[in-house]
Amino acid sequence: MSAAARARALADVGRLDQAERAVRDGLAGTPSDPELLGLLAGLRRLQGDSGAALEFADAAVAVAPGQAFVHIERAECLLVLARPAEALESASEAVRLSPDRPEPHRSLARCLTLLRRHDAARDAAGRAVTLAPHSVEDLMTLAEVERHAGRGDAARAATVRALAENPDHTDGRWMMAVLDAQRLRIGEAMRGLRGLAADHPGRYGAPVLSWPVRGLLASLTVGLSAGLPVVALLAAGGHRWASALLLARGSAAVIVLVAVTMAIRVLIPAGRLPWISLRLLPAATRRAVVVRLVAAGAALALLLRYAVSPAWPVLASVLAVQLVMLAAGRVERR
């Protein structure tokens, strides 16, 4: 078995360190082998060393500029480094070199998606699927492109096709849960995530299973950040126009109503699992979530009070509580 074949076999079962050793052993004898250099770039990328990965990808391109796979690997490294415009150049070159292979089109679709060129990304992903209609990876790339473009039904259709090929495909099951969540089919989403957590506890643990609570808090923070300035502006106008003050009170009531309605639609179908999962989060993250929960409840209570009896000190208190939520959110994301 060649060094490249041995490395791929080890990487397929998650033994990345051993795969890298196999590649480096092979490079000791043939240091300019583009296949081994490309493999080493991929292994470094998968292990989080994106800078070194790009160096090896550049070396592979320098050795074999006429081979599409080295340009694909360079594009993937550049995507990880958040350099999608440069990645697009590499992916486009790969397509030029191997237009009849799905892999270059798949890489091109990912680059175009990050550049928000959704129609072109859809065409590239569709071309990959046309060339390999039973490829789960190509179907999932198409699903991801459609999801980013806001075409949930098309994303679901592509995911269904991928899961028909491989019902246990992890990314496909994750995509279905995400799509269910986006459509507020919370019960279905949680059942999907629960199954993923059972099969892959290291990857889909407490941080994922607690998303209904944490996602709701994130949405509420965004909503308050957008709504509170409007309420404050209308309240300031209330000194001259009584109708402005009435609108401020109405806006405050609407914010509370929307937040409570969303909480009911998300938290009740989600059940107890998200709350249980919160207890399993790291201590600092758990404390930050608790602070955000308390602050969110206080903000809504204060807004309701303002809607009933408007007063500047109450509105100022809401703004102060919002600052606490934002600070706790930054701690939670660390």
Which CATH number is 12's domain given? 1.25.40.10
- Measured N-to-C along each axis, helices 16-29 and 3-12 cross at an angle, to the nearest 10 degrees, of 170
User: Does a structural domain hold residue 199?
Assistant: no
Q: Is the pLDDT assigned to residue 1 strictly greater than 70?
A: no
Lowest-confidence segment of 100-104, 114-118, 240-244, 321-325 by average pLDDT: 240-244
Please name the residues in contact with 321: beta carbons below 8 A apart, sequence gap of 6 or more.
295, 298, 299, 302
Q: Is the pLDDT assigned to residue 4 strictly greater than 80?
A: no
Lowest-confidence segment of 186-190, 240-244, 284-288, 293-297 by average pLDDT: 240-244
> Do residue 215 and residue 278 come from a single domain?
yes
Q: What is the per-residue DSSP string for 62-125?
A: HH-TT-HHHHHHHHHHHHHTT-HHHHHHHHHHHHHH-TTSHHHHHHHHHHHHHTT-HHHHHHHH
pLDDT for res 47: 87
Q: Max alpha carbon distance in the chain (Å)?
A: 83
Out of 47, 81, 96, a domain closes at 96
> Do residue 287 and residue 322 come from a single domain?
yes
Out of 96, 125, 156, a domain closes at 96
Task: Report pLDDT digits (tens) over 97-142.
Answer: 999 999 999 999 999 999 999 999 999 999 999 999 999 999 999 9
Q: How far apart are CA 171 and CA 184, in angstroms?
A: 20
pLDDT band at 188 (very low <50, low <70, confident <90, very high): very high
Asked if 136 and 165 touch (Cβ cutoff 8 Å), the reply is yes
For the four alpha carbons of 104, 108, 109 and 114, in that order, the dihedral sign comes to positive
User: Does a structural domain hold residue 244?
Assistant: yes
User: Does a structural domain hold residue 190?
Assistant: no
Q: How far apart are CA 71 and CA 97, in angstroms?
A: 9
> Do residue 84 and residue 137 come from a single domain?
no
User: Does a structural domain hold residue 189?
Assistant: no
> Do residue 8 and residue 118 come from a single domain?
no
Out of 168, 183, 198, a domain closes at 183
> Do residue 28 and residue 66 come from a single domain?
yes
> Do residue 115 and residue 40 come from a single domain?
no
User: Does a structural domain hold residue 188?
Assistant: no
> Do residue 212 and residue 322 come from a single domain?
yes
Task: Report pLDDT digits (tens) over 149-171.
Answer: 999 999 999 999 999 999 999 99
Task: Report pLDDT digits (tens) over 256-306.
Answer: 999 999 999 999 999 999 999 999 999 999 999 999 999 999 999 999 999
User: Does a structural domain hold residue 198?
Assistant: no
CA dihedral 112, 118, 121, 125 (to 10 degrees): 140
> Do residue 80 and residue 109 come from a single domain?
no
* Size of the chain in residues: 334
Q: How far apart are CA 323 and CA 96, in angstroms?
A: 51
What mean pLDDT is predicted for residues 212-221?
92
The count of structural domains within the chain is 3
> Do residue 108 and residue 74 come from a single domain?
no
Query: How high is the mean pLDDT of the chain?
Result: 91
> Do residue 145 and residue 73 come from a single domain?
no
pLDDT for res 119: 95
Domain that holds residue 26: 1-96
For the four alpha carbons of 275, 280, 281 and 282, in that order, the dihedral sign comes to positive
Task: Report pLDDT digits (tens) over 64-74.
Answer: 999 999 999 99
> Do residue 56 and residue 172 come from a single domain?
no
| Residue 309 burial by Cβ neighbours in a 10 Å radius (0-12, 13-18, 19+) | exposed
User: Does a structural domain hold residue 200?
Assistant: no
User: Does a structural domain hold residue 3?
Assistant: yes
Q: Is the pLDDT assigned to residue 3 strictly greater than 90?
A: no
> Do residue 178 and residue 223 come from a single domain?
no
Q: How far apart are CA 107 and CA 90, in angstroms?
A: 9
* 3-state SS class at 166: coil
Q: How far apart are CA 8 and CA 23, in angstroms?
A: 9
Q: Is the pLDDT assigned to residue 24 strictly greater than 90?
A: no
- Predicted TM-score (pTM) of this structure: 0.81
